[in-house]
Amino acid sequence: MIDLEVPRKFRPLVEQARGMAEEVFRPISRKYDLAEHEYPQELDLLSALIDGMGSAGAGQGAGASSSTRAKDEHEGGVAAVGSGRRHAAGAEVRNGSNMSSVLSILETCRGDVGLTLSIPRQGLGNAAIAAVANEEQKARYRGKWAAMAITEPDTGSDSGAIRTTAVRDGDEYVLNGEKIFVTSGERAELVVVWATLDRSLGKQAIKSFVVRRDNPGLRLVRLEHKLGIRASDTAAFHLDDCRVPAQDLLGDPEITTAGGFGGAMQTFDNTRPLVAAMALGLTRACLDTATELLAGAGVTVDWDRPAYAQSAAAARLLQMEADYESAHLLTLRAAWMADNGRPNSMEASMAKAKAGRTCVNVALACVELAGATGYSERELLEKWARDSKILDIFEGTQQIQLLVIARRLLGMSSSELK
- pLDDT of 273 reads 95
Number of domains the chain contains = 3
Is the pLDDT at 200 greater than 60? The verdict is: yes
What pLDDT, on the 0 to 100 scale, is given for residue 267? 80
Per residue in 373-388, pLDDT tens? 999 999 999 999 999 9
| Predicted pLDDT of residue 66 | 58
The answer to whether residue 5 is catalytic is: no
Closest CA relative to residue 286, chosen from 113, 60, 93, 104:
113
253 within 8 A of 172, measured Cβ to Cβ: no
Which of the residues 178, 292, 395, 416 is marked catalytic? 395
Other C-beta atoms lying within 10 Å of the C-beta of residue 85: 15
Q: How many CB atoms lie within 10 A of CB 327?
A: 26
Where is the domain boundary, 113, 136, 159?
Answer: 136
CA dihedral 208, 209, 210, 211 (to 10 degrees): -130
The CATH number of the domain where 149 resides is what?
Answer: 2.40.110.10
Burial grade of 258 (CB within 10 A; 0-12, 13-18, 19 or more): exposed
CA distance 295 to 163: 53
Q: Rounded CA gap, 382 and 387, in Å?
A: 9
Closest CA to 336 of 58, 6, 109: 6
What pLDDT score does 262 carry?
A: 58
Among the residue ranges 52-61, 79-88, 96-105, 322-331, the one predicted with the least confidence is 79-88
Clarify whether residues 291 and 326 are in a common domain.
Answer: yes
CATH number of the domain to which 331 belongs: 1.20.140.10
Q: For residue 55, what pLDDT is reported?
A: 53
Task: Convert the pLDDT of each residue in 132-167 to its tens digit.
Answer: 899 999 999 998 999 999 999 988 777 778 999 999
Q: Which burial class, exposed, middle or buried, applies to 130 when counting CB atoms under 10 A from its CB (0-12, 13-18, 19+)?
A: buried
Angle, vertex CA 53, rays to CA 210 and CA 62, nearest 5: 40
Check residue 59 and give its pLDDT.
39
Distance CA 252, CA 5 (A): 39
Q: Report the candidate in 194, 200, 211, 209 with the shortest Cα–Cα distance to residue 261.
A: 194
**Do 311 and 390 lie in a common domain?**
yes
**Mean of the per-residue pLDDT values for the chain?**
88
> Which 3 state secondary structure label does DSSP give 177?
strand
For the full predicted model, state whether its pTM sits above 0.75.
yes
Domain for residue 172, yes or no?
yes
**What stretches of 297-344 show up as alpha helix (H) in DSSP?**
312-339
Same domain as 406, residue 278: yes
Rounded Cα–Cα distance for residues 167 and 209 (Å): 12
Taken in order 4, 69, 145, 159, the sign of the CA dihedral is negative
Residues 23 and 127 in one domain: yes
Domain for residue 206, yes or no?
yes
Classify residue 376 by its DSSP letter.
S
Confidence of residue 207 (pLDDT cuts 50, 70, 90): very high
Q: CATH number of the domain that 34 lies in? A: 1.10.540
Residue 259 located in a structural domain: no
Helix or strand or coil: residue 185?
coil
Check: CB of residue 163 under 8 Å from CB of residue 139.
no
406: containing domain = 265-410
In 3D space, the residue among 268, 264, 269, 247 whose CA is nearest the CA of residue 170 turns out to be: 247
Sequence-separated (6 or more) residues with CB below 8 Å from residue 136: none
